[in-house]
Amino acid sequence: MTHAWRSEGAILVGGAAAACGLGWLEGRTTQFLLVFLLAYLARHLYYCVHLLAWLRGHTNELPDGNGIWSEIFHHHRLLKRRHRRRKRRLAKILKRFQQATSALPDATVVLTREFSIEWFNKAAARLLGLGKRDTGLRIDNLIRSPQFVEYLEKRRFNRPLTLAAPRNERIRLEIRIVSYASDRYLLVARDITQLHLLERQRRDFVAHVSHELRTPLTVLKGYLETLTDSPDAVAEAYHPMLMHMDEQILRLQYLVDDLLYLSRLETTQEHPGKHRPVDIAALVQDICKEAAHVQARHARIEVEVMPGAKLLGNEQELRSAFTNLVVNAIKYTPETGKIEVRWQADASGGRFEVSDSGKGIPAEHLPRITERFYRVPGSDNANPTGTGLGLAIVKHVLNRHDGRLEIQSQAGRGSTFRCHFPRKRVVS
């Protein structure tokens, strides 16, 4: 038994004994005992009232109490002290966290489920132009760019969004949104102006170099043609060299053309509103007819297209991407093989597919096959004028059409290149 219980027992037993003794002397034992019990109950009620007032926060002080109450009050005081210490510690952590996020160079905004602003740091005030009065407002009322509004609506937060800062067009921001704590979003905006400038300089450099290379290449090609057209002008021993030079100049020309085309795709941001319904069935027939002339002897080409369904897009870009796939199939498939070209559209979207029974691509090369200039070693034999840019162009064009490239291939068995387009792009 603890000291508090012993003391409480002493009060009860001692008090009752004293009441009985006095009552016996006065000849009113029951009345004295009753008075004592009432006083004992009143003491408990008195302490209960104090405790309740203290718990409700009406008073800061607890009486010392006696008996069991001294222990109850003591423990409550200890609890309160511990609680205060923990609160102070948490407040300190929170303050330090807020100071750290405030010092972050990236704009950080805490958003509710409805995208209302709950908190933001100094960088957010600077980069996004947020002010204290904006707390509680929806973020899309302040960042009104249509791209950002669409980004929020579609909630495709797995990819970052790049856009100009709301208050300064020259600042480029990379915006990322992550969901946390089941009902909050964290928006982080990073200033990527320098990176963007460097990227633009790189693109401009490639475009300029490719452009500058065009003229000397045309001159060289012209002289070479003159020489090959008049075989008597050159000793026969040099003929194989001329042929090799011709092949390499052609390859250089393809390289320059592909590089220029890629940089055009990268630099022109075509508005999707400019896209028109493209008759893919007719386009595919056309491409296959033209591609068949690429190589005099080639594998059998079978075309299976679904008439009627059109694809919302840029015809020139789609022609270039599909031609790359069909020409690759022709180049990398022996003439005894078979090539199948398909276009299908249904409720799940549109699919353009080129399958061949050619040399295929070994599994270890598949992850890198769409990178610029990446070629499977030994591809030169089948396609000496190849540039390694064809599939990069295909991927880029598909990105501009909300599409995706799927590649299935097995070395020695053939390959299937499938372009998937979303349903919203298919027009019946």
Q: Say how many C-beta atoms besides its own lie within 10 A of residue 121's C-beta.
A: 22
Region of 330 please: left (phi>0), alpha (psi -120 to 50) or beta. Answer: alpha
The residue among 320 and 415 lying less far from ligand ADP, judged by its C-beta, is: 415
Cβ-closest residue to ligand ADP? 390
The residue among 109 and 329 lying less far from ligand ADP, judged by its C-beta, is: 329
Shortest Å, Cβ 404 to ligand ADP: 17
Least Cα distance to 401 among 236, 251, 270, 237 occurs for 270
Shortest Å, Cβ 313 to ligand ADP: 20
Shortest Å, Cβ 414 to ligand ADP: 7
The C-alpha atoms of residue 412 and residue 357 are separated, in whole angstroms, by: 8
End-to-end Cα distance, the chain: 88
Shortest Å, Cβ 387 to ligand ADP: 5
The residue among 101 and 415 lying less far from ligand ADP, judged by its C-beta, is: 415
The residue among 90 and 294 lying less far from ligand ADP, judged by its C-beta, is: 294
Shortest Å, Cβ 332 to ligand ADP: 3
The residue among 359 and 401 lying less far from ligand ADP, judged by its C-beta, is: 359
Shortest Å, Cβ 117 to ligand ADP: 46
Least Cα distance to 397 among 306, 250, 278 occurs for 278
Shortest Å, Cβ 339 to ligand ADP: 9
Shortest Å, Cβ 243 to ligand ADP: 20
Residues near ligand ADP (CB under 6 A) are 324, 328-329, 332, 356, 358-361, 369, 375-376, 379, 383, 386-391, 415
The residue among 123 and 354 lying less far from ligand ADP, judged by its C-beta, is: 354
Three-state SS annotation for the chain: CCHHHHHHHHHHHHHHHHHHHHHHHHCCHHHHHHHHHHHHHHHHHHHHHHHHHHHCCCCCCCCCCCCHHHHHHHHHHHHHHHHHHHHHHHHHHHHHHHHHHHHCCCEEEEEECCCEEEEECHHHHHHHCCCHHHCCCEHHHCCCCHHHHHHHHHCCCCCCEEEECCCCCCCEEEEEEEEECCCEEEEEEEECHHHHHHHHHHHHHHHHHHHHHHHHHHHHHHHHHHHHHCHHHCCHHHHHHHHHHHHHHHHHHHHHHHHHHHHHHHHCCCCHHHCEEECHHHHHHHHHHHHCCCCCCCCEEEEEECCCCEEEECHHHHHHHHHHHHHHHHHCCCCCCEEEEEEEEECCEEEEEEEECCCCCCHHHHHHCCCCCCCCCCHHHHCCCCCCCHHHHHHHHHHHCCCEEEEEEECCCEEEEEEEECHHHEEC
Shortest Å, Cβ 383 to ligand ADP: 5
The residue among 127 and 321 lying less far from ligand ADP, judged by its C-beta, is: 321
The residue among 350 and 358 lying less far from ligand ADP, judged by its C-beta, is: 358
Residue 232: CB partners within 8 Å, gap ≥ 6?
none
The residue among 210 and 328 lying less far from ligand ADP, judged by its C-beta, is: 328
Shortest Å, Cβ 370 to ligand ADP: 7
The residue among 119 and 374 lying less far from ligand ADP, judged by its C-beta, is: 374
Q: Which two tokens stand for residue 120?
A: 């933001």
Shortest Å, Cβ 297 to ligand ADP: 17
What values do phi and psi take at 60, rounded to 5? -100, -15
The residue among 65 and 358 lying less far from ligand ADP, judged by its C-beta, is: 358
